[in-house]
Chains A and B, each alone.
Chain A
Amino acid sequence: MNSVLFLVMRRMRRPLIMLICAYAVAIGGLVLIPGEDDQGQLWHFDFFHAFYFISFVGPTIGLGEIPYALVPAQRFWVSFSLYLTVISWLYAIGKIFSLVGEPAFVRALSETRFRRSVHSLSEPFHLICGYGETGSLLVEALCARGWRCVVIDSSSQRLDDLELAELPVDIPRLCANAGDTRVLIEAGLKHRYCHSVIAVTNSDAVNTKIAVTCKLLQPERMVLCRADSAAAMENMASFNTDHIVNPHTIFAEQMALAIRKPHVNELHRWLGARAGKPLKPPLLPPTGRWIICGYGRLGQAVRRYLDANDIDVTVIERDASHFSDNNSAIQHRIIGSATDPEPLHEAGVESCQGILAGTDSDADNLSIVLTARDINPDIYAVARQNHFRERELFAAAKLPLVVDLNRILAWRMLPLATVPSLDEFLACCRSQEDDWARELMDNLRALTGDTSPEVVHVPLWGQGSQGLCQALARRTVRLRDLGGHIDGETIPVIGLMLKRAEERSLLPDPETELQPGQQLLLATVAHSAHRLEWLIKHSNHWGSAPRSHALAAVSP
């Protein structure tokens, strides 16, 4: 508010002074010049009448000669005053109009509007820094789940895209450098409803700066960070950034998991996906020999994970300098462009089971997989898609798996930001056997049909679970009781994890008795989360014991 007001005041100084002087001169002159009344006697304008006269002369140029017809000297003066005051007014009004179009004023105004809309947010929101492809996916998905967002980006063009995006709510947005501490505070870093800060700009340095600012100013605020290099990951981890997500590593990890434990990987994909979506068929990448084309960050990460699974890998890279750091680690390496058939032949594409085209160029990647398929039609081809706008091309190529790092990043961050402890559960799953995951998936499929389940986190304390906690104080409630009836409907529920302090049990028995202070992670059918939360919050669903009895049970 202040900056706009001050800017207006500062700019209006000169026109206002000009107006005051013009009026003072005009009024003063009119008072000085003697006139003649209807009897031919000398008279003078007094200040009041002069002010009155100039007031209507000034802006309107409408004038009647009052209280007597003017004498020529007065008319001279009035014509002079008329131009003087009209020009002053034009100047002042022109200044106001030019001010409205000035970039500094527009920026101050939009900043003010932004600050006010952030300040007035009255429900939990996520602060998203960077509205690139990942940021836009996150905002869309968070809005679809009923969360509010605040967006900062340094490009006004991308924010225009946000304005045009079809979202159910208005997103406060600011065009500024998210690495700036003041900007982060203005965007609601210290706001009591700020749920998490998500740093997904395309610069590791800016993301690190955001994380360090949040951890210094609001240590309890959850921070999710994108990191592209190992150095940035280490740096972020050194000051307790809650979640550091490296899209290259995540993809490599998922691919290795899909090869080693396909069902665990499938479980991952189900629980991370948006609830109610049709389930996708499992990915079954072959376990035989692989060719990796492009040895950048993605290629290196995938090679590392495949190596760890004892899978034979051949790397094709155009730039020999990429191999320099860890020569000994790669047994089979070929220097050349994988878009040509020769290096592919050399790598033995005929006898290979899988190929990953992971260069920075979408055209190259498509060319690589098409060439490889020409030679070996049965090959399992995976291509990296760098730009969202190329998705139709990649869809037309009918690849079993497309690597879209932005999408991977967004779908990884989403559950981290919205469902606490899901990440922990998934980490536990990764250490389980594949059969365990298959059994759980059969149960989930029985629960939700062929759609992805909704995962709900229920802490048994505080406002959100008041009703259930009151019920726990007077009777035993078992896990299976949670799938209660609302309006004659049953909500089917599977307990994924029951946690108390550091002790956690996976897939708790439905007969387990609940205790206050525990955390539950439940899977239920899509769009039941709200009903489930409502059920847990309100006490009237938990048996109709008299109120006094309930109090008596709690008070001793």
Chain B
Amino acid sequence: MNLEKVLFGFFVLLALTLNVGFVYGEIDSVTHHHVWELFAALVVSLIATVLKFGDRTHLGAVLLASSLVADLHLVAAAIVWGVNSQVFAAGEEPGVVASVVSLACGALVANLASVILLVVETLTLRR
């Protein structure tokens, strides 16, 4: 057992599950999407990214890329939410919530890709 692999697998999976938790629900209803979950998803995704820093294998590079994509989406979602609620006082409006959730959906796909790559790597190791 490799502690580094455990940690990385844990954070990649956690990023995905938190992301799903945030996205799950009606797309424009603010009650279905909790800001804490977005915050947690962003933090965990950032940690997962840093864990892949300096990995020179090809798979490591692809994992880093997919993590970066997820980060980008989540940061964009957080900014959209923050700017709309703070600057325009329109944080709760369905349109804003919908665009935040759709951005997080993008991150969800990237995180899903990360997990799939991780599973593929694990399976090839087995053989």
Give the interface of A toward B (CB within 8 A).
2, 6-13, 16-17, 20-21, 24, 27-28, 31, 46-48
Contacts and interface: CB of A to CB of B under 8 A. Distances in A.
Contact of B54 (A10, A21, A24, A48): A10
Given A47-B39, A48-B82, A13 B56 contact: no
A10 B56 CA distance: 10
A13 B39 contact: no
Given A9-B53, A10-B54, A27-B39, A21 B78 contact: no
Nearest 3 A/B pairs, CB to CB: A10-B54, A9-B54, A9-B53
B43 interface: yes
Interface in B6-60: 35-36, 39, 43, 46-47, 50-51, 53-54, 56
A7 B53 CA distance: 9
A48 B47 CA distance: 20
A46 B53 contact: no
A10 B53 contact: yes
Nearest to B78: A47
Interface of B: 35-36, 39, 43, 46-47, 50-51, 53-54, 56, 78, 82, 85-86
Contacts of B51: 13, 17
Q: Is the interface of B mostly helix, strand, loop or mixed?
A: helix
B53 A48 contact: no
B39 A28 contact: yes
B82 A13 contact: no
Nearest to B39: A47
Contacts of B56: 2, 6
Nearest to B4: A13
B53 A13 contact: yes
Contacts of A27: 39
A13 B78 contact: no
A17 B82 CA distance: 24
A21 to B, nearest CB: 7
Contacts of B47: 17, 20-21
B40 to A, nearest CB: 8
B50 A24 contact: no
A539 B50 CA distance: 63
Nearest to A7: B54
A120 B35 CA distance: 52
A253 B36 CA distance: 88
Given A20-B43, A20-B47, A48-B85, A6 B54 contact: yes
B4 to A, nearest CB: 10
